[in-house]
Homo-oligomer: A and B are copies of this chain.
Amino acid sequence: MKDQSDPATTQGALADLRALLGDDHVLTGSDTDRFARDWTGKWRADPLAVVRPAGTAQVAQVVKIAARADLAIVPVGGNTGLVGGTANTGALMVSLERMTAIRDLRPQAGVMVVEAGVILADIHAAAEAHDLMFPLTFGARGSARVGGFLSTNAGGSNVVRYGPTRGLVLGLEVVLADGRILDLMSELRKDNSGLDLRDLFIGGEGTLGIITAAVLRLSPKPRHHAAALVAVRDLPASLALLRRLQAASDGAVEAFEYMPRSYMVELAKHRPDLRQPFALHDHAVMIDMGGLSRPLIETLEEALSDAMDAGEVLDAMIAQNDAQRQHIWDMREAAAEITFTRLPIVDNDVALPLDRVEAFIDDMHARLTAIDPDADTLIVSHLGDGNVHLTVYPTDDKQLETIREMVEDVTVTLGGSISAEHGIGLSKLTTMTRRKDPVALDVMRAIKTALDPDNRMNPGKVIPER
């Protein structure tokens, strides 16, 4: 792919795109604004145009037109990503927002077939109408779309029970860099027919192709919930409480979110409407459990009581109704908005083995004190997955890179990952170069070249140049 197509070729491509899609669906100039800026405020796009195909066949045609004009292609979903995955200059952005059909929903088979533009909240609603659920959920569910949350293998709060997003997807349809349509639309629990291509595109951030449709696996919707906000003695006590709850409920814990003092203080400051049920403690977790066959309130009460006797739990508020449960969730889901209230920040999305989360936090704080003693930190964690969102607010711009490297050091030393669920995009490219196994990077480059020889699909993202 060239850095710059010649103007005549580019204008010809835009004309072809207008002929294919209609003028209303080839946006340029200020019409592209809502795709250009992501809500973190850290990343911008300045695309040649944003096109809005109505179906898979049109996506394939769009890719072919872009290839003839040698244009870079950047797919965009709900634009709720956090890592600059859609930032670009001069690319053709392909929005999937018109592809919102639920092609099929078969309750007996437990599958839903969706186009890439369907919004996550609409998937939730469609499943619930059949007493089923699609478990993936996170704060941006009202905006995030299938293509985006699959391309980023987005995580969220339910992974502790339902596993990562890859495991919730049975089939995939992808438009490749040459405009061919790859049909992996399996509806099957087991399918060993050759190399697993699906999981390359899930989490591929659009670098290997454009996801246009997917088969999602549905689960029975829990009929009973039990939620609580709990003050705990320390991190090991939190993990002991998690094991206690899992053993007492056969793994019914749907969310187990760690919210230490740093988070609760910021929450009180920015969201005074979200009243906190007990005094500030150093460590708190929010818990939600879901059951099909039995109410879990008693199980939760008993486990908390035992944990209190063991000195692990210091205080607790158990939700007595749906409104209180929602209140506890709101406290957790305010995290993204709180994180980005001030800049500059070093925002980290790391994962650790469960037994090393405490060491990570301790080591990181010790080393941060040495670098920038007055820096603030904010931590919130999907603790059941070992996934820590750590934000550092340095006192000085010049410390950004030093702090970033320090967090990487601590993470990698403890066997952690420098990206747990947000992906790489542009924001973690240098981190990838520094921290990922160089052989793994070479294999990624080889696959990228094999599937996208012209480096047309979301170029410059995920895989750092050699």
Contact = CB atoms under 8 A, between A and B. Distances in A.
A417 B195 contact: no
A430 interface: no
A451 interface: yes
Contact of A436 (B194, B291, B420, B440): B194
Given A192-B420, A196-B203, A386-B189, A354 B110 contact: yes
A193 B436 contact: yes
A251 interface: yes
B108 A239 contact: yes
A149 to B, nearest CB: 12
Contact of A421 (B192, B207, B252, B428): B192
Interface in A292-316: 292-294, 299
Given A250-B291, A293-B248, A441 B192 contact: no
A10 B160 CA distance: 52
Contact of A152 (B192, B384, B423): B192
A418 interface: yes
Contacts of A351: 188-191
Interface stretch (A66-74, A175-183, A280-288, A336-344): A175-183
Contact of A188 (B199, B353, B449): B353
A362 interface: no
Contact of A447 (B189, B195, B419): B195
A409 to B, nearest CB: 15
A220 B191 contact: no
B194 A111 contact: no
A139 interface: no
A108 to B, nearest CB: 4
A160 B189 CA distance: 8
Contact of A182 (B194, B432, B437): B437
B194 A463 contact: yes
Contacts of A450: 446-447, 449-450
A164 B164 CA distance: 13
Nearest to A449: B450
Contacts of A181: 439
Given A184-B437, A355-B106, A444 B189 contact: no
Nearest to A183: B437
Contact of A190 (B200, B248, B420): B420
Given A182-B437, A424-B194, A439-B176, A188 B416 contact: yes
A200 B450 CA distance: 15
Nearest to A354: B109
B194 A444 contact: yes
A44 interface: no
A459 interface: no
Given A108-B355, A109-B354, A109-B355, A197 B440 contact: yes
A293 B182 contact: no
Interface in A121-156: 152-153, 155
B385 A193 contact: no
A423 B196 CA distance: 11
A441 B353 contact: no
Interface string A191-219: 11111110110111001100000000000
Contacts of A152: 192
Contacts of A462: 194-195
A226 interface: no
Given A197-B443, A440-B183, A443-B182, A419 B247 contact: no
Contacts of A352: 188
A417 B200 contact: no
Contacts of A88: none
A351 B421 CA distance: 31
Given A109-B354, A352-B188, A443-B182, A424 B193 contact: yes
Sorted from nearest, which 3 A-B pairs have the closest CB atoms? A450-B450, A199-B199, A108-B355
Given A191-B419, A194-B436, 14 more contacts: A106-B353, A166-B196, A180-B442, A181-B439, A188-B420, A190-B385, A192-B419, A193-B435, A195-B462, A197-B443, A250-B292, A250-B293, A293-B299, A443-B451
